[in-house]
Amino acid sequence: MKYIQTDNLTIIDYGDGGAKLQIYNKTKSSYGWSPRNLIVSLFGKPLKEITYNYVQQEVDKVYSTFNYDEIHKLINKINETN
């Protein structure tokens, strides 16, 4: 099992071709660490089906504004690990 992460997004790669998307809200703390609060953990699906468009649709359901560069970073990390 591998965790592929950006600031607010995580893909859990189960290693059997399946994966799961988790969307977080990362906040800055005055104490020097940044906690991540889980917003939604979606049902698993084949890793091949986790595309930019899929992630964008799911992010748009929970965020009114979101930096889509983070989705690009996540997809690039997925492609690098596979």
For residues 11-34, average pLDDT: 90
At residue 81, the pLDDT reads 82
* pLDDT for position 75: 95
pLDDT of 24-81, one tens digit each? Answer: 999 888 888 888 999 999 999 999 999 999 999 999 999 999 999 999 999 999 999 8
Whole-prediction pTM value? 0.89
Q: How far is CA 30 from CA 37, 63, 73, in A?
A: 16, 24, 26
Cβ–Cβ < 8 Å for 34, 18: no
Can you tell me which residue has the tokens 């990362």?
A: 26
